[in-house]
Amino acid sequence: MQASRARLFKEYKEVQREKSADPDIQLVCDDSNIFKWTALIKGPSETPYEGGVFQLAFAVPEQYPLQPPQVRFLTKIFHPNVHFKTGEICLDILKNAWSPAWTLQSVCRAIIALMAHPEPDSPLNCDSGNLLRSGDIRGFQSMARMYTRLAAMPKKG
Amino acid sequence: MVSDSITHNAPIASAPNSRDFSKKKRTNRSAKLKQCKLDVRREQWLSQVGAVKSKCCKEDQNGARKERARSLENLRRRDEDNSNDSGSMHHDSDSESPSNSPTNSLLCGNSGTNPGTNFIGSSSSSSSVSGSSGGGCCSGSITEEEEEDGCLDDWEAVADALAADDDNNKQEPEHDRSCSQSPSESQLSVQSDSLHELANGLSLDSVKSMPDGARMVPSVSENNRRAWRPDDAFRPQSLPNLAKQRSFPAADRHFGQGGVPWACNNVLAAPSSCPICYEDLDYTDSSFLPCLCGFRLCLFCHKRILEEDGRCPGCRKPYEHDQVESEAIVQGGSMTFRLARSCSMIARS
């Protein structure tokens, strides 16, 4: 508990100190609970998610960093490895490949990388995975772009 | 470098002469030295120059005349040679009163027999000699004499005082009494000079010494003499020893430095803070390498990880017997580590 709190506090200071280090990631700690974090990440360029801003919710366990944080998309996203309704993310580093050396910041980077390189073989979104596995790249990209516009981009007017 | 070459040349010729003189001088010295010793010591210690001068001056005056005639430079060369010879003996005296005048006492004794002029030159030469460090040439003659007299300590002090007095009388640039080293050298030089070679040596020395003297005069003075004193005492044997000793510590330092950078490299290679808890790594943590992948972390986090999944955060491979290192380093924690392993094994099984 104390260790996780101390570590999160250090991470918080690190984030505050290097706020502009990674313009694609904006990591914010909950005002009242250091174990609750939210992050805003920009969709990587040259992907259907480009131009969108996706919100992530971090739930940090007390055993952190020995246990990985629980991360899910608050913004709806059409991605093979993200549950379309719950926003759950299937990412190895958030499961068995977690390392205490990871940080919330690095998790955000990993999620951005996952958005750019989906893994259709372990899908949480079967529709998205099936499109990719069937080779319908165009269909996948159009669906993903549509949901990005609908959910992740500021509404015009 | 120049001084060394000069010293080597001079000692060869002067050494035998100096020895003969030294014997003669010994007798004279013993009486004079005994008288002067007490006074010299007192004066030297209190005010290195003052009282000693009177006694020393007598001897010095004799030597001073010759010395005056000679160029200081010549003296210096001779002194260097002499000092080298005498150095072995001086060591003993130096040990008792290192800064003082083991050399000076010798000089005084020598100066009594030999012309005191050498002192000045010797001081300069000593400075040059000291700079060169060389001096293995120094014959044991002076030292032997001193040992025989058993007055080495006193002699040294006296010699220092005498040298100071001589210097004052002569008013040579090197007069500074502080140049205890130089006096010893001067004594040696005096002996050698007093020997037959004085004239020859002087001419040769003067020619040779000129450049040296130029060097010596400005910088040498007291400091050089002093430096030489210990050296002189050690010259025969100790000088090389000293050099060796110096080299050894230097080598040790180098090793230490090497070790330091090594440690620094380790530290640098490792993060300054634990990547898990972000706490600063202390020395033990910095030297703690639990995994072959090189991933470093503090012992606390390592223990916690072992209690959890026991995998290295860097390579995600389970900590194996690599922990032996950690256990060896932290013996106290070895039990916990082992227990953690067993627990983890059980949990896995």
Residue A35: count of CB within 10 angstroms of its CB: 17
Identify residues of A whose CB sits under 8 angstroms from chain B CBs.
Answer: 3, 6-7, 10-11, 14, 63, 65-67, 97, 99-101
Only one residue has tokens 């210097």, namely: B167
β-sheet with A53-59: strand ranges across:
A25-29, A36-42, A53-59, A70-73
Same domain, B184 and B72: yes
Instruction: Please list the residues that pair with B311 across neighbouring strands.
Output: B318
CB–CB contact B278 A63 (8 Å):
no
The pLDDT value given to residue A131: 93
Choosing from B214, B234, B254, the residue where a domain stops is B234
Cβ atoms B122, B182 nearer than 8 A: yes
Closest CA to A66 of A141, A121, A3: A3
**Coil, strand or helix: which one is B50?**
helix
Domain match, B259 and B204 both: no
Q: pLDDT tens across B276-299, in order? A: 888 888 888 878 888 888 888 888
Contacts of A11 in chain B (CB under 8 A): 278
Of the candidates A72, A68, A70, A67, the residue with the CA atom closest to the CA atom of residue A54:
A72
For B103, the 3-state DSSP assignment is helix
- Whether B315 shows a pLDDT value over 60: the answer reads yes
Distance separating alpha carbons of residues B297 and A87, to the nearest angstrom = 33
B297 neighbourhood in chain A, CB within 8 Å: 100
How far apart, in Å, are the Cα atoms of B316 and each of A71, A76, A100?
Answer: 21, 32, 10
Asked whether the beta carbons of B175 and B96 are under 8 A apart, the reply is no
Domain co-membership, B89 together with B70: yes
Q: In terms of CA atoms, which chain B residue is nearest residue A65? A: B276
Of A42, A135, A125, nearest to A78 (Cα)? A125
| % of chain B beyond a pLDDT of 90 | 0
B280 close contact with A: CB closer than 8 A: no
In a shared domain, residues B132 and B151 = yes
Q: Indicate the pLDDT class of residue B271, thresholds 50, 70 and 90.
A: low
Instruction: Tell me: do B230 and B124 sit in the same domain.
Output: yes
Do B277 and A63 make contact, defined as CB atoms within 8 angstroms? no
Decide: B33 and B109 in contact? Cβ < 8 Å. yes
Pick the residue of B309, B315, B348 with the most A CBs within 10 A to test the interface with A by mutation. B309
Per DSSP, A75 falls in state S
Residue B173 sits at the chain A interface (C-beta within 8 Å)? no
Q: Write the CATH number for B314.
A: 3.30.40
Among B216, B234, B252, the domain-final residue is: B234
The residue among B132, B92, B101 whose CA lies nearest residue B11 is B132
Best A13, A66, A98 member to test B by mutation, with max B CBs in 10 Å, is A66
Phi, psi of B273 (to 5 degrees): -130, 155
For B112-148, the pLDDT digits (tens) are 444 434 444 344 444 334 333 333 444 444 444 444 4
Say whether both B228 and B187 belong to one domain. yes
Q: How confident is the model at residue B157 (pLDDT cuts 50, 70, 90)?
A: low
Each residue's pLDDT expressed in tens, for chain A with a length of 157 residues? 678 888 898 889 888 888 777 888 999 998 899 999 999 999 999 999 999 999 999 999 998 888 899 999 999 999 999 999 999 999 999 988 888 888 999 999 999 999 999 999 988 999 999 999 999 999 999 999 999 999 988 876 5
The C-alpha atoms of residue B274 and residue B300 are separated, in whole angstroms, by 10
**B301 and chain A in contact, CB less than 8 A:** yes
Q: Which of B63, B53, B172, B54 is nearest to B116 (CA)?
A: B63
Which chain A positions have a beta carbon within 8 Å of B308's beta carbon? 63, 66-67
Q: Measured between CA atoms, how close is A110 to chain B, in angstroms?
A: 16
Active site residue A90: yes
Concatenated DSSP letters for B140-195?
SHHHHHHHHHT-HHHHHHHHHHHHHHHHHHHT-GGG-TT-SHHHHHHHHHHHHHHT
Which token pair is B152?
């080495």
From B275, B300, B309, residue closest to A101, measured CB to CB: B275
CA of B295: which chain A residue's CA is closest? A101
Residues B69 and B114 in one domain: yes
Same domain, B142 and B176: yes
pLDDT at B219 exceeding the cut of 90: no
Q: What is the 3-state secondary structure (H, E, C) of B200-237?
A: HHHHHHHHHHHHHHHHHHHHCHHHHHHHHHHHHHHCCC
Cα angle for residues B56, B141, B32 (degrees, 5° grid): 25
Same domain? For B221 and B287 the reply is: no
Q: What is the pLDDT of residue B30?
A: 64
Domains and CATH numbers, chain A: 1-152 (3.10.110.10)
Domains contained in chain B, number: 2
Question: Higher confidence at residue A54 or residue B57?
Answer: A54
Q: A101, B305: Cβ pair inside 8 Å?
A: no
CB contact under 8 A, B295 and A101: yes
**What would the two tokens of residue B19 be?**
């020895």
In this prediction, residue B21 carries a pLDDT of 52
Q: B227 and B85 in one domain?
A: yes
**Is the CB of B316 inside 8 Å of chain A's CB atoms?**
yes
User: Is the predicted pLDDT of residue B226 greater than 80, yes or no?
Assistant: no
CA-angle at B139, arms to B126 and B194, nearest 5°: 70
Tell me: do B70 and B216 sit in the same domain: yes
Chain A hits for B279, Cβ within 8 Å = 6
Residue A108: predicted pLDDT: 93
- Stated pTM of the model: 0.44
Pair (B157, B250) in one structural domain: no
Q: How far is A94 from chain B (nearest CA, A)?
A: 13
Binned at pLDDT 50, 70 and 90, residue B254 comes out as very low
CA-to-CA separations, B247 to B38, B92, B229, in angstroms, rounded:
37, 22, 20
Q: Which domain holds residue B298?
A: 243-348
SS3 (DSSP) at B127: helix
User: Distance, in angstroms, between A132 CA and closest chain B CA?
Assistant: 30
Domain boundary among B234, B269, B284: B234
